[in-house]
Amino acid sequence: MDSKISDKLKILADAAKYDVSCSSSGGKRKNDNKGLGNAEGMGICHSYTEDGRCVSLLKILLTNFCIFDCAYCVTRKSNDVQRAAFTVQEVVDLTINFYRRNYIEGLFLSSGIFKNADYTMERLVRVAKKLRQEHKFNGYIHLKTIPGASDELIKEAGLYADRLSVNIELPSEKSLQSLAPEKNYGEILVPMGSIKDQLVQAKEESKLFKSTPKFAPAGQSTQLIVGATAESDQQILQLSDQLYKGYSLKRVYYSGYVPISTDSRLSIITEPPIIRENRIYQADWLMRFYGFDVKEIVDEQHPNLDLDIDPKLSWALRNRHAFPVEINTADYEMILRVPGIGVKSAKKIVSARRFAPLQFDHLRQMGVVLKRAKYFITCQTRSLQRQDFDSEQLRRKILFGDGSVRSALLTQQLDLFRQVG
């Protein structure tokens, strides 16, 4: 049986890996039944893949048999791959045993559509239920909802899962029609909307009754594939913005399309657009934590993010009139907009300047990247920059340094989750 399990794990982990979400944060489930596990607060990355992504959850498909034929997906019906299916018990055993050894924070279970949507969804729910009820498991559970599954099943899933997700995958209706003909936007957005309503309702009720069962306490998320179809960054980010605002999504994940499929319906690329994906994450970060509106990041004139520089610097170069910012008096919000100053340094600045007027040396010690920031700030009206540069000159100076001629693209860090500096 051992080699059988290991063969299944090979196939079903491999098939699940293109879903980039592996977050286990935002949970509120405490271990108050002397059971196993705890999913409070921030999730932990227990390892990192060789491509530098966090490994936090056991992320697998229940099965990679699928009746659908979505062009971008390895699991699509017409693709010639080995198929496998776990039993409910096998998934439960793997999760518990990995968790007990501190390999993982919990389970992220998704699936190809086997027979029909409800049949598949019902099994996903069974895994979660078994973990919670028979094993008193309080670790993190993220369930993917199967497109077309009934409302009741999704509701039940929310009782056991910390997070639910409905993947949109393709950033426009048009692309969806051509690449995933069996799906449609309505079918995706309906469950998303009903999860949102459940979340709101559970929150309301828990104000009234202490014992209201929790519903997906870590909220819902989705994933968009970048680069498989022709959408601009503006289209993608506007969609995310709507999802954050309209559906209260906790996270939108972006997955640079890995050309795994030779399906003729797809745009032809040879490498995953990793830098573009990274820029989109940075832009997403700006919208969620830096108080930027999507319109400030991309617009009709600039529908795509600059690949050479991060979107915050890009905004600063387009809005020179907002600078220089005086570190000793400017609002926190404005300090946060200075290239080279992140959330942490901005907080330190605001705290420290209550004690003494800040000098450039203080900033350096606090971790401000002066190489960047110096063009945009003054300290007690002093500037490190004697000359005035126009935006184009600045861009070049920041990219290539004052003398060097390295290609910026080659030296870019490809850290997906690096904060925007």
Partner 1 sequence: MYFYTYDGSFEGLLTVVFEAYERKAWPTAIEQEHLAQPSMFGENIRVVTDEQKASRVWQGLQRKLSAAALESLYYTYLWEQAGFERLIFDYARLVFDSAESVEGNYTAPFILQVQQIYKQVHREKHRMEAFVRFQKTADGLFYASVSPDFNVLPLIVRHFEKRYADQRWAIYDTIRRYGVYYDLKKTDFVQLENPGLTPKQQGVLKASEYDENETKYQLLWQVYFDNVNIPERKNPKLHLRHIPKRYWKYLSEKQPRLH
Residues near ligand SF4 (CB under 6 A) are 66, 68, 70, 73, 75-76, 112-113, 180
Instruction: Report the alpha-carbon distance of residue 412 to residue 399 in Å, rounded.
Output: 10
Instruction: Report the alpha-carbon distance of residue 204 to residue 217 in Å, rounded.
Output: 13
Bridge partner list, 252: 222
Alpha helical stretches, state H, 161-225: 173-179, 185-208
Q: Which of 29, 59, 76, 144 binds partner 1 (CB under 8 A)?
A: 59
In whole angstroms, the minimum distance from the beta carbon of 125 to ligand SF4 comes to 17
Helix (H) or strand (E) holding 336: none
Please tell me the count of residues contacting partner 1 according to CB under 8 A.
59
Residue 262 near partner 1 by CB under 8 A: no
Contact assessment for residue 254 and residue 277, using Cβ atoms and an 8 Å cutoff: yes
Residue 276 near partner 1 by CB under 8 A: no
Instruction: Report the alpha-carbon distance of residue 92 to residue 103 in Å, rounded.
Output: 15
Q: Which is nearer to ligand SF4, 173 or 361 (CB)?
A: 173
Q: Among residue numbers 18 through 47, which ones bind partner 1 (CB under 8 A)?
A: 18, 30-31, 34-38, 40, 44-47
In whole angstroms, the minimum distance from the beta carbon of 229 to ligand SF4 comes to 14
Instruction: Report the alpha-carbon distance of residue 2 to residue 27 in Å, rounded.
Output: 33
Residue 101 near partner 1 by CB under 8 A: yes
Question: Backbone phi, then psi, for 147, in 5-degree steps?
Answer: -55, 130
101 binds, among partner 1, ligand SF4, none (CB under 5 to 8 A by kind): partner 1
Please calculate the CA angle 289-308-378 and round it to the nearest 5 degrees. 60
In whole angstroms, the minimum distance from the beta carbon of 291 to ligand SF4 comes to 35
Q: Which of 271, 299, 331, 333 binds partner 1 (CB under 8 A)?
A: 271
Instruction: Report the alpha-carbon distance of residue 146 to residue 338 in Å, rounded.
Output: 43
Q: Which is nearer to partner 1, 10 or 396 (CB)?
A: 10
Contact assessment for residue 98 and residue 51, using Cβ atoms and an 8 Å cutoff: no
Q: Which residues bind partner 1 (CB under 8 A)?
A: 2, 5-6, 9-10, 13-14, 16-18, 30-31, 34-38, 40, 44-55, 58-59, 94, 97-98, 100-103, 136, 256, 258-259, 271-272, 274, 348, 351-352, 354-356, 358, 362, 365-366, 413-415
